[in-house]
Amino acid sequence: MHYLTDPWHLGFSRHALIAGFLAGALCGLVGVYVVLRRMSYIGHGLSHAIFGGAVASYAVNVNFYLGAGAWGFLSALLINGVSRRRQIGADAAIGVVTTASFAVGVALISHPHKFTLNPDAALFGNILGVTTNGLFVLLGVTIFVAAVVFFRYRQLLFITFDPEVADAYGVNSKRYDTLFALVMAATIVSTLQLLGVTLIAAIIVVPAIVARLVTDSFGKLVLTSAAVGASCSVVGVYLSYYNDIPSGATIVLVTAALFSVVFVVTALTARRRLSRLGADHGSADIGGGPSVHVG
Amino acid sequence: MHHPIIEFKDVSYTYGEGAVLDHISLTIPEGAFVGVVGPSGAGKTTMLRLISGTTKPAAGSVHVGSNSGKVRLAVVPQIEAIDWNFPVTVEEVVLLGRAADRRLVPWAPASARSEAAEIMSKLGIGELAHRHIRNLSGGQQQRAFIARALMRKPELLLLDEPTAGVDVKTRHDILHLLHSLNHEGIAIVLTTHDLNAVAAHLPSLVCINRRLIAMGTPQEVLTPDVLSQLYGADMIVIQQEGMLLIGDVPSAFKDEHARAQHSDRIPAAHFGEQPPPHQHGDETGHTHERGA
């Protein structure tokens, strides 16, 4: 039992557990829209783009959250704008915009300024080093994103499911694309230092995929994905605390392990159902369980 | 005298290379039931997008409105454009017809749910409300999206190829359903490749191939000349008991010589008794017309 309670006695690990819970729930929530819009690499791309924004903010002495947030928002808007051109898909738009933005960061960091960024923390995250300020920013962003999902649930569902005709039904797709870009940028900026540039994409995408494997209802998917993200992150923080492994890595490993288990169990369940139906009817045609598209 | 609900004035549209629609002018009256036909790439879907306002014309103007002002319209997309693995149930899709309602909470009010249930029941999919959209037949999928459109209480309903990929019975049922909706006062514009279906069910047609080729009743526009202009290929039109039947003419059958050679080379399939002796000439009693 003390394994569970010990981390709560220390300030830094208590902060880490709260941050893990919030970051996991936030990424799980946003991940549903990312996966269903077939933009799984936007998390990966935007975190790299925001790395450029973070370096630029540091170079001109602007607050990290403001500078990197504005940079990320602009990058997400550019991705939306580029992918609206029919010849260019969202994946190519993410590739162009985010690598260019990352390159700006690399160019700036190569400049003879004295940067004190910790490359390990930037790449793999350091949730155990979360500050009170960072925790409040994360709490604010989580409340903001949860409010957007709650109050604009039907409109976001429409532009995710059937964007081509959303405008004809009175849902302004451009406005909601812009709102989604803001949500994405705020999510990445508030979780970047905790989860790391290279691992954040997995924490956005995997909980949504796990949830997709167990439900066919959009409402249940949103709640399940947020719950999976939050619980995997908390377990990951515990593992990080006791094994001295970067928190981003442990959280990703826990989500990946859960995905593997759910994948195997749902596959076996579907096969058993198929053989039972085959035995009952001689032959059967089954639509199959829920399926997932990534990328 | 019906007022126009859709007016195209010298409308052109391009996606970058060449005109998709070229100087189209037409008027569709309130309460109309119109089929837009033409070959692939003729601009049929673009025409629907221009009517729905999701695309703006490059030149000219599109006016959609009734005597009483702005028209409430709804769009039923092509079935092929839908992600059938998307995690939504039939009821969730239908309730999206009210997505733009000013309501802060995510769940639909009881009044909308009972209205959705009523519409689904009317369209014969009431029992399928909680089923995932992938687990429906082609006709049921089409009805789910028509139900979503009806939730908007549309005065104008736009359907992009509603009869594509469904069997003959389902196609008949869908067109019959659209007929009923039209009788209730909803103006309907649909695109299709199915000339025989529109000839049998629709009172008026618009034939486009980037430019307007013809407009009128099926009897007026489904002629070999118009079809030849429309598709750039020979078509035959058969009239039987007031019905129009349209078929294409394979190039191998264009002349008697080629047809004779073809029938000599390829054995015919027969079931049951031995085939009758080969006969030349037309003994069907149908009136044939063939394009140039």
pLDDT in tens, A163-191: 888 998 989 988 998 899 899 989 988 88
Q: Residue A157 and residue A143: Cα distance in Å, rounded?
A: 19
Say what the alpha-carbon torsion angle A107, A108, A109, A114 is, to the nearest 10 degrees: 150
At residue B15, the 3 state secondary structure works out as: coil
pLDDT of B274 reads: 46
pLDDT of B256 reads: 57
**Rounded to the nearest 10 degrees, what angle do helices A11-36 and A132-151 cross at?**
30
Q: Find chain B residues with C-beta within 8 A of A170's C-beta.
A: 99-100
A154 and B40 Cβ atoms separated by less than 8 Å:
no
* Average pLDDT score over chain A: 83
Q: Residue B199 and residue B205: Cα distance in Å, rounded?
A: 9
B30 to chain A, closest Cα gap in Å: 19
For B33-57, what is the mean pLDDT?
91
Q: What is the largest CA-CA distance in chain B?
A: 75
pLDDT of A54 reads: 80
Q: Is B129 on the interface with A (CB under 8 A)?
A: no
CB contact set of B77 (below 8 Å; sequence gap of 6+): A162, A164, A165, B145, B160
pLDDT of B286 reads: 46
pLDDT of B133 reads: 93
Q: Identify the DSSP state of B222.
A: -
A158·B96 Cβ contact <8 A: yes
Question: Mind listing the pLDDT tens digit for each residue in A56-103?
Answer: 887 778 888 888 888 888 888 887 777 666 666 667 777 787 788 778
Q: Is B89 on the interface with A (CB under 8 A)?
A: yes
Question: Mind listing the pLDDT tens digit for each residue in A228-279?
Answer: 999 999 999 899 888 888 888 889 899 999 999 999 999 998 888 888 777 7
- Counting one residue from chain A and one from chain B, the pairs whose CB atoms sit within 8 A come to 89
Q: How far apart are the first and last CA of chain B?
A: 38
Q: Which of B73, B85, B132 sits opposite A293 (nearest CB)?
A: B85
Is the pLDDT confidence value at B187 over 90?
A: yes
pLDDT of B262 reads: 52
State the pLDDT confidence band at A1, using cuts at 50, 70 and 90.
low
Q: Which of A36, A168, A290 sits opposite B54 (nearest CB)?
A: A168
A165·B77 Cβ contact <8 A: yes
Interface ipTM: 0.78
Q: Which of B54, B93, B96 sits opposite A167 (nearest CB)?
A: B54
Question: Mind listing the pLDDT tens digit for each residue in A110-123?
Answer: 665 555 556 566 66
Question: Mind listing the pLDDT tens digit for each residue in B227-279?
Answer: 888 887 777 888 877 777 887 766 555 555 555 555 555 554 544 444 444 44
Where is average pLDDT lowest: A41-55, A145-159, B82-96, B219-233? A41-55
Phi, psi of A29 (to 5 degrees): -65, -50
Q: Which of A162, A166, A218 sits opposite B87 (nearest CB)?
A: A218
A36·B53 Cβ contact <8 A: no
Percent of chain A with pLDDT over 70: 86
pLDDT of B283 reads: 39
Interface of A with B in 170-229 (CB under 8 A): 170-171, 212, 215-219, 221
Q: Find chain A residues with C-beta within 8 A of B53's C-beta.
A: 167-168
B230 and B39 Cβ atoms separated by less than 8 Å:
yes
Identify the H or E element spanning A274. helix A247-281
pLDDT of A261 reads: 96
State the pLDDT confidence band at B188, using cuts at 50, 70 and 90.
very high
pLDDT of A158 reads: 94
